[in-house]
Amino acid sequence: MTITRTTDSATAASSAAAPPATLSRKQRRALSKPPKHLRSNGIAYAMIAPLVILLGIFVIWPLIYAFYLSTYKTYYNKPAEFVGLQFYKFVLTDPDFWASLWVGLKYSLMVVPTVLVLALLLSTFIKTLGKKGAAILKTTVYLPTVVSVVVVALLFVFIYQDTGFANWFVGLFGIDPQAWLNTDASALPSVSVAGIWMGFGISTLILLAGLLDIPESYYESAALEGANWFQRTWYITIPLLKNVFLYLLVTGFTLAMQEYLLPLIMTNGGPVGATTTPNLFIFNQFRDNSAFSFTYSLTAALILFIVIGAVSIVIFKAIKSDKAVDG
Amino acid sequence: MSSRTVMKVLKALVGLVIFCAAMFPLAWMAIAGFKGKEEVLRSPFQFFPDMWNWDNYRAILNDPAYLHALWLTFVGALIFTVLSLFINSLAAYAFARLDFFGKGLWWVVCIMPMFVPGMAILVTSFVVVAKLGMLNTLAVLIIPGLASSGQMFFLRQFYLNMPMGMEEAALIDGANRWQIFTRIFLPQSKAPFVVMGFGSFLAYWNAYVWPLLTVGDSPGLTQIMVYLGNYRAERGTDWGLLMAGSTIAALPTILLVLIFQRYITTGVRLAGMK
């Protein structure tokens, strides 16, 4: 598996160097370290300093500060007031927050499975191609991922115009023109088409990297036994790529749940909140200058972070414990 | 026809369909740029303009505000790319090869940010840069995003896999760590640097929300994506012109992909690790 190969070989190297298991963990750690005089504290600190300082100021401190501020009510004209976890309660009992979570979930359910199926089909197809054809298609599917979300959003708004491409296309099948982005039912699916277009390429390439790691002999012997393409995919490809799939599923869901640029530009969350994803909800709260919307928005962002983080950790732990069995 | 040629033709056809599906929206955007105001959304629908004219492209490139945004974003992206490569590669080397007091703790400090989503710290990051007096400067666009746990992690893995031999020989010859880094490690870092540099350039070039909040449309600092985002609200919907502007804004990253095609596989590994 390409994705985890680097970490695998790193652990393999460290375990190869490790002394017999009879030593305690502490002793082993002491042995694997070079003696004190070989340490290079000065230069090492100088080398990590820029990174540590920048991360400290612009990521770690803002995160701590966010947790701190989420327990205060801030006023324009008087000092902030400590309110404990009150804002967490506000957010968690706000139907609008739950509505945005629901929208985010629906969006993820439309985007992630579609992207995974597309990626599986495309990567198995690209694998059968010659060198040149594969190279062309790899570049082609990669291109949508490097185009800015802003450009993609504008482009799809253009496609969804009343006399635009989308209406012409469905017209071919005898369907009447739609108000894609202005109808409750079609707005979110329309946005998710743009999301799918942006996401399928990189997933295809990640899957392809995993596919190329499966020994060709597996397929050859299966073909000898008379297995057809579907059987080979079902019994060889999918089981062996289970970890890559789970990885794509988890990262896909965490990214899709956090998507907000597409709906921000395409629909600004409308019509009537139909495309207000969780982060768009939070972002709009932040921009909305009403009382306490500032604390409210950062509290909601922290809650989302904790929930998504906890879910991914649980799933990744499950994958990791699986790997030992999988080889 | 033998069944092999049939398969070949079939494969070429499927390949063509995939190619079109991936490229169509981009092509459609570029074609719209060649259409006049009346024909860009005309009914009945037509694929190609009556006459291919460069008017929209010429017009948008003659718009000083657009051109300035394009140029400024490009320069900013270059500075951002160089600085982030420098900062992240230094730390990657230190974590891969040096031993120092509290290494494990510093490692956690440097890796943890990889798991913090942007939105969780967007509000307070804004407060921080505001307090530092960085709003409406070029610095606020460049400095906060320079340090990248993901890129550092990626490069550290690469350095961990590099053979020790040359380094040990250089150490015996009396070279110091800095010389080893600049003379042995940097020259061998081309592939990961291309991938990381492309990632940085892309992140800066495509950024929207951060520049929107911290710089907005303050004169002379508007970034290209903010310019495009504001365009619709400010100038109504001249779709031909807007699509021409979007096409040009998408070109640099597309060209970079085409130039560095052979690094895509390495790049996928970076994306796969994040």
Hey, of A69, A87, A158, which one would you mutate to test binding to chain B, going by the most B CBs within 10 A of its CB?
A158
Question: Residue A327 above 60 pLDDT?
Answer: no
| B157-198 pLDDT, tens digit each | 889 988 888 888 888 888 888 889 999 999 989 889 999 999
* Mean pLDDT, residues A295-319 taken together: 87
Q: Cα–Cα distance between B53 and B46 in angstroms, integer? A: 16
* Mean pLDDT, residues B250-257 taken together: 94
Give the residue from chain B lying closest to A126, CA to CA. B15
Question: Residue A9 above 60 pLDDT?
Answer: no
Residue A198 near residue A149 (C-beta atoms within 8 A): yes
Q: Cα–Cα distance between B260 and A140 in angstroms, integer? A: 13
Q: Which residues of B touch A10 (CB under 8 A)?
A: 157, 160-161
Average pLDDT, chain B: 90
Question: Residue B12 above 80 pLDDT?
Answer: yes
Q: Cα–Cα distance between B32 and B238 in angstroms, integer? A: 11
Spell out the domains of chain A, with CATH numbers in brackets: 21-69 (no CATH), 89-326 (1.10.3720.10)
User: Of A51, A62, A139, which is closest to B124 when you measure between CB atoms?
Assistant: A62
Position A293 scores a pLDDT of 86
Q: In whole angstroms, what separates CA A58 from the centre of its chain?
A: 21
Question: Residue A245 above 90 pLDDT?
Answer: no
| Number of other residues whose CB lies within 10 A of the CB of residue A15 | 8
Q: Which residues of A touch B94 (CB under 8 A)?
A: 43-44, 47-48
Number of H-type helices and E-type strands within chain A? 17, 2
Question: Residue A275 above 60 pLDDT?
Answer: yes
Position B271 scores a pLDDT of 60
Least confident of A30-39, A123-132, B257-266: A30-39
Which B-chain residues 135-154 have CB contacts (< 8 A) with chain A?
A: 143-147, 149, 152
Comparison of pLDDT for A303 and A37, the residue scoring more: A303
Question: Residue A191 above 60 pLDDT?
Answer: yes
| A31-46 pLDDT, tens digit each | 555 555 456 788 999 9
Q: Concatenate the DSSP letters of all residues of B1-49 into one string.
A: --HHHHHHHHHHHHHHHHHHHHHHHHHHHHHHTTS-TTTTT-SS--SS-
Position A6 scores a pLDDT of 38
Q: Which residues of B touch A52 (CB under 8 A)?
A: 91, 106, 109-110
How much of chain B exceeds pLDDT 70, in percent? Answer: 97
Position B273 scores a pLDDT of 54
| A67-82 pLDDT, tens digit each | 999 999 887 777 888 8
Position A31 scores a pLDDT of 52
Side-chain-facing half-sphere of B179: CA atoms under 13 Å:
11
Tokens (6 digits) for A324: 């030992």
Question: Residue A235 above 70 pLDDT?
Answer: yes
Contacts by residues B210-214 (CB-CB < 8 Å, ≥ 24 positions apart)? B210/B122, B210/B141, B210/B144, B210/B145, B211/B141, B213/B122, B213/B126, B214/B126, B214/B129, B214/B134, B214/B135, B214/B136, B214/B140, B214/B141
Position A7 scores a pLDDT of 38
Hey, of A25, A47, A165, which one would you mutate to test binding to chain B, going by the most B CBs within 10 A of its CB?
A47
Record: contact A66-B91, CB cut-off 8 A: no
Q: Which of B162, B167, B163, B188 is nearest to B179 (CA)?
A: B167
Q: Which residues of B touch A261 (CB under 8 A)?
A: 208-209
Q: Cα–Cα distance between B156 and B126 in angstroms, integer? A: 30
* Mean pLDDT, residues B118-124 taken together: 91
CB pairs under 8 A between A and B: 269
Question: Residue A29 above 60 pLDDT?
Answer: no
Record: contact B122-A150, CB cut-off 8 A: no
Give the residue from chain A lying closest to B111, CA to CA. A55
Residue A43 near residue A37 (C-beta atoms within 8 A): no
Q: Which residues of A touch B265 (CB under 8 A)?
A: 138, 205, 209
Record: contact B228-A9, CB cut-off 8 A: no
User: Of B15, B100, B273, which is closest to A3 when you measure between CB atoms?
Assistant: B273
* Mean pLDDT, residues A146-168 taken together: 93
| Contacts for A10 with CB less than 8 Å, ≥ 6 apart | B157, B160, B161
Q: Cα–Cα distance between A248 and A256 in angstroms, integer? A: 11
Least confident of A60-69, B160-169, B230-239: B230-239
| Number of other residues whose CB lies within 10 A of the CB of residue A30 | 11
| B68-101 pLDDT, tens digit each | 999 999 999 999 999 999 999 999 999 999 989 9
Record: contact B98-A43, CB cut-off 8 A: yes
pLDDT band, very low/low/confident/very high, at A217 (cuts 50, 70, 90): confident
* Mean pLDDT, residues A157-167 taken together: 91
Check if B102 contacts A (Cβ < 8 Å). no
Position A23 scores a pLDDT of 58
| B19-28 pLDDT, tens digit each | 998 999 999 9
